[in-house]
Amino acid sequence: MKLLLHACCGPCSLEPVRLLHEAGHDLTIYYANSNIAPDAEYSRRLDALLAWAKEEDVAVMEGLRAPCAWEASAGRIGEEALSEARESLAASSDGARPLPLAIDPARRMERCRACYRLRFEETALVAAAHGFDGIGTTLSVSPYQYTEIIHEELSSAAARFGVSAVFRDFRPYYDEATRRSREAGMYRQNYCGCRFSAAEAEAERSERKAARKADRAAHAAEREAAEAERTAKRAERLAYDEKQARKRAVLKALRTQEKDASQ
């Protein structure tokens, strides 16, 4: 099948491209990611993808970068979710200590669905216009994405523009893609791409860092308690040994007195 493969970045393309080539598909990668911000991040991911694709002799097409269209769809949902989270935080906070800003998971999922839809529909439109038989995506290699929603939106976009949807759950190959991209020295991003995901990823990293710090503190307290217990036992043992030594000294002195008295 002549396949237009939507791709978000280089590292996520490694295993999907390999597997789809093995399945006999004629691939062209389509970089359609109006969600990615800021501009420097968008360019850095594209450059990494282009460098790798050139080495692998895989064609790449760049889609139209339309951040305004993304903001009007997924961005609008993200802002609404943020407003709802802030209102909920204001209502629940007593001011005693700061609480984390919690985004409703359902709203986050809704935002991602809108993002997938925008990019897949663009991919399907371009595929139909340029004689491709079908569309696919590399997004399903990530365990951090909504795989079922990806499948749904890819199928919907393909049907709308009269091409086939070639979906595959690539998550089992995520570790291999990670290994290969690291060995190749490819640029690896630490967030999905949009400004919301960047903030969420940073918050999650901060939470993990705080959890590790708390865990280390707890273990330090446990070690201190264990050391205090060992010190107490050593002191108890030392006191016992000293007491026994005094007893032996007294007994020795009595035996010496008895011996002297009998002579």
Does the annotation list 68 as a binding residue?
Answer: no
Does the annotation list 8 as a binding residue?
Answer: yes
SS3 97: coil
d(CA 122, CA 62): 11
HSE toward the beta carbon, residue 135, CA cutoff 13 A: 32
Name residue, tokens 């690539």: 170
List of long-range contacts for 131-134, beta carbons under 8 Å, 24+ apart: 131/2, 132/2, 132/3, 132/4, 132/28, 132/163, 133/1, 133/2, 133/3, 133/163, 133/164, 134/1, 134/2, 134/3, 134/4, 134/158, 134/163, 134/164, 134/165, 134/166
Does the annotation list 194 as a binding residue?
Answer: no
Residue ranges at the known binding site: 8-9, 112, 115
Residue ranges at the known binding site for [4Fe-4S] cluster: 8-9, 112, 115
